[in-house]
């Protein structure tokens, strides 16, 4: 098959479409013929050498894809019915999306939401699993909670706003411009905070504190997040755009009986991923199908131009998702 | 009534048995005639001015007691049957234990475990609710987990060792002497770590890492605890004997998908305390009644000698619990 191979490990732009062996699905895996692959920020980190694949997994980039099952290899759906060659699916991957074929553990296959194209599907798998696993399976957002979403205008942020609103909770967001805040408002955010001009701690405290904080900043926001937290609140850290090491005021955390979790999808065990995928299909897919959650594809580019897609993402001139068309 | 009153807020030893108004139970509270009050480390902090009672609550010291209901005031047990004057009970308090009478929210009353005296009962309420709420309701210890308990030889530690073993999990403990470690071993600890001689991180890593860490040290152990954590592990901080502010390596926490909670009992809302008390009675009381959990009273002193009891506790020459006899 052909796939995007990084020919120079030291050069994140050396992403070349070239021949490489077609993967052989192991027991419990299907062989997927890929039609579309989603591009994620983490992919750019991997190209820069900062985000290696889990041990034993392919080092072809790409955390999500969609396509057609080429070889079902005896795999079954969660309800026990078989997958068949020819079935159209989405797939949560630990790598390998930028390619013609990928082997996928059956538990990481997702049906195509009704009304969705394969291209749409490839663009929502990662973000949907990320948002659902963190907001619900880790932080257990409840009706009437106040959820603070940092970077509300980003890909994760816009999706998280909509899931949170669908759960009946209130949403506060931070973003760096009035334009992004306006987009957040359109997607349902209730409290808009321009982090370049206002102190999010004060703004959130005025609302009684955040019951849940979805954080992508890390160190730089650690103590501010604790300050903004309501009693029994939960900070879930999924990104470290503001650094890795920060001071934690345990006394302040204890006075709020606060909780901090830091999570990622990629290195989880298969059973855990299957659990997340199943919950996402159960709870988020209906919201895609009935239009409660909208998502936006900024552009579709040929997979051969993966390097250009990375550059566009890093330049920051993207609203919504970039996807790679494989056929 | 008579109660221990701190006559000089600046002098933690000015604890004097003197007249003060008898409390009037509000709706949903019984009036308890106290026979025994437990002494806790937090009581010494309160006498030093560091641990004020929740707003609106009595500032008489004492977080747990036992005695006889004087006025049931129409209160009912969780199952809806009434409490009666004359019923013997234990009580989880937000204060007021060092006295002849205290008003207790009905949800914070506990039956006397069968085979237990009122004196025994007063000495286990706080520790049982603390250990159960943290190990099970916060960290959700599972069979076969490895649980690291810091200060295994302390009051909380010895109780936590036994609850953990009863749950079918493995226990590692830290303590500062071979004598204390030997006591921990007698109570069921599997892995014994002398923190003055050995690095607990290495010792726990050799066992595969800790799924749960019950921490009383805080800042000084924060990063070591993260290092000792297994994948998806949970650190529960209930004390800050090693300081309040510490550096957190979020990257390391994320690589383990770790969780940190910091909790306390005293400032929780009544409904939350009632939930904890009910769970403790359901799950821990049977372990006291069938002898699975042993507890040890070091000495019983007259309530009039509360100051002496505090001094003995602070001097560190206590194994097990000090309780105050009120009648
Ligand atoms: N752990 C996981 O499993 C997982 C999964 C997916 C994503 N992630 C991480 O989640 C993060 C977001 O991903 P994404 O795809 O949504 O990226 P994205 O689309 O680039 O969004 C990031 C957003 O962060 C905002 N931002 C930058 N600095 C900020 C600050 N100081 N305060 C508040 N917002 C700030 C940016 O908005 P402005 O222009 O307004 O500043 C941008 O909209 C990334 O770090 C990614 O690695 C983690
Ligand atoms: N948050 C809550 O709701 C709550 C409730 C109850 C108790 N607590 C807190 O929990 C802590 C323990 O209470 P306790 O009643 O068990 O007190 P305790 O009986 O005095 O036990 C404390 C133990 O800590 C050990 N220790 C001291 N330094 C240590 C270190 N660096 N590493 C490991 N162990 C160390 C001591 O043993 P060595 O002599 O071996 O050093 C001692 O046995 C206190 O801080 C208390 O305030 C919190």
Q: Using one digit for the tens of pLDDT, what is the confidence trace for A146-180?
A: 999 999 998 899 999 999 999 999 999 999 999 99
Confidence grade of residue B144 (pLDDT, cut at 50, 70, 90): very high
With b for 16 or more beta-carbon neighbours within 10 A and e for fewer, the B117-130 pattern comes to: ebbbbbbbbbbbbb
**In ligand 1, which atom is closest to the CA atom of A177?**
40
For testing contact with chain A, the best of B261, B262, B266, B272 (most A CBs within 10 A)? B262
Sequence-ordered list of residues with C-beta below 8 angstroms from that of A33, at least 6 positions apart, any chain: A67, A68, A69, A70, A100, A101
For testing contact with chain B, the best of A130, A139, A244, A254 (most B CBs within 10 A)? A254
* CA atoms lying within 13 Å on the CB side of residue A288: 26
Say what the pTM is.
0.96
Whether the per-residue pLDDT at B46 is higher than 90: the answer is yes
Residue B59 is encoded by which pair of tokens? 């500032």
Beta strands in B72-169 (DSSP E): 88-92, 101-105, 109-111, 146-149
Distance B42 CA to ligand 2 centre (A): 11
Number of neighbouring beta carbons within 10 Å of residue B168: 11
Q: To the nearest whole angstrom, how far is the Cα of B271 from the nearest Cα of chain A?
A: 14
Residue B33 is encoded by which pair of tokens? 């005639």
Please state the three-class secondary structure of B84-99 as a single string: CCCCEEEEECCCCCCE
**Contact (Cβ atoms closer than 8 angstroms) between residue B293 and residue B162:** yes
Domains of chain A: 2-125+266-325 (3.90.180.10), 139-262 (3.40.50.720)
Helix %, strand %, coil % for chain A, to 5? 30, 30, 40
CB contacts < 8 A, A to B, total 94
Which residue's alpha carbon is nearest to atom 29 within ligand 2? Answer: B151
With b for 16 or more beta-carbon neighbours within 10 A and e for fewer, the B46-85 pattern comes to: bbeeebebeeeebebbbbbbbbebbbbbebebeeeeebee
User: N- to C-terminal Cα distance for chain A?
Assistant: 12
Confidence grade of residue A316 (pLDDT, cut at 50, 70, 90): confident
**C-alpha–C-alpha distance, residues B124 and A92, integer Å:** 49
DSSP A58-111: --S--SEEEEEEEE-TT-B-TTSPBP-TT-EEEEE-SS--SBSEEEEEGGGEEE
Q: Using one digit for the tens of pLDDT, what is the confidence trace for A181-216?
A: 999 999 999 999 999 999 999 999 999 999 999 999
pLDDT of residue A320: 81
* Mean pLDDT on B68-72: 98
Whether the per-residue pLDDT at B320 is higher than 90: the answer is no
Partners of B192 in beta bridges: B173
Q: Exposure of A116 by Cβ count < 10 A (0-12 exposed, 13-18 middle, 19+ buried)?
A: buried
Which residue's alpha carbon is nearest to atom 3 within ligand 2? Answer: B264
Distances in Å between the Cα of A264 and the Cα atoms of A55, A272, B230, B269 are: 16, 11, 15, 33
**C-alpha–C-alpha distance, residues B43 and B321, integer Å:** 13
Q: Using one digit for the tens of pLDDT, what is the confidence trace for A86-136?
A: 999 999 999 999 999 999 999 999 999 999 999 999 999 999 999 999 999
pLDDT of residue B318: 81
Q: Using one digit for the tens of pLDDT, what is the confidence trace for A19-77?
A: 999 999 999 999 999 999 999 999 999 999 988 999 999 999 999 999 999 999 999 99
Q: What is the CA radius of gyration of chain A?
A: 20
pLDDT of residue A180: 93
- Phi-psi category of residue A50: left, alpha or beta, with phi > 0 → left and psi -120 to 50 → alpha: alpha
Whether the per-residue pLDDT at A317 is higher than 80: the answer is no
Instruction: List all residues of chain B from 248 to 267 with a beta carbon under 8 Å from chain A.
Output: 248-251, 253-264, 267
Instruction: List all residues of chain B from 130 to 159 with a beta carbon under 8 Å from chain A.
Output: none
Confidence grade of residue A228 (pLDDT, cut at 50, 70, 90): very high
């Amino acid at each position: 098959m052909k796939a995007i191979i990084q020919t120079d490990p030291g050069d994140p732009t050396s992403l070349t479409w070239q021949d490489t062996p077609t993967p052989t699905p192991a027991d419990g895996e299907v062989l997927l013929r890929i039609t579309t692959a989603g591009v994620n920020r983490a992919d750019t980190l991997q190209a820069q050498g900062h985000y290696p694949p889990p041990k034993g997994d392919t080092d072809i980039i790409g955390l999500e894809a969609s396509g057609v099952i080429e070889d079902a290899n005896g795999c079954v759906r969660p309800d026990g019915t078989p997958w068949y060659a020819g079935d159209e699916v989405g797939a949560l991957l630990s790598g390998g999306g930028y390619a013609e074929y990928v082997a996928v553990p059956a538990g990481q296959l997702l049906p195509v939401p009704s009304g969705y194209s394969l291209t749409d599907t490839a663009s929502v798998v990662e973000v949907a699993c990320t948002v659902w696993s963190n907001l619900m399976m880790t932080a257990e957002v409840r009706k009437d909670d106040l959820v603070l979403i940092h970077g509300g205008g980003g890909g994760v942020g816009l999706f998280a706003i909509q899931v949170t609103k669908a759960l009946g909770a209130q949403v506060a967001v931070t973003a760096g411009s009035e334009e992004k805040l306006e987009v957040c408002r359109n997607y349902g955010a209730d409290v808009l905070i321009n982090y370049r001009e206002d102190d999010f701690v004060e703004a959130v405290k005025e609302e009684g504190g955040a019951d849940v904080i979805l954080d992508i900043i890390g160190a730089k926001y650690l103590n501010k997040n604790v300050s903004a937290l309501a009693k029994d609140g939960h900070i879930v850290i999924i990104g470290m755009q503001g650094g890795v090491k920060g001071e934690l005021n345990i006394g302040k955390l204890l006075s709020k009986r606060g909780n901090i979790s830091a999570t990622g999808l990629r290195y989880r065990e298969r059973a855990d991923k299957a659990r997340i995928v199943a919950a996402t299909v159960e709870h988020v897919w209906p919201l895609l199908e009935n239009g409660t959650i909208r998502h936006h594809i900024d552009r579709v580019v040929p997979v051969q131009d993966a390097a250009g897609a990375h550059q566009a993402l890093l330049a920051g001139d993207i609203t919504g998702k970039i996807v790679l068309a494989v056929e």
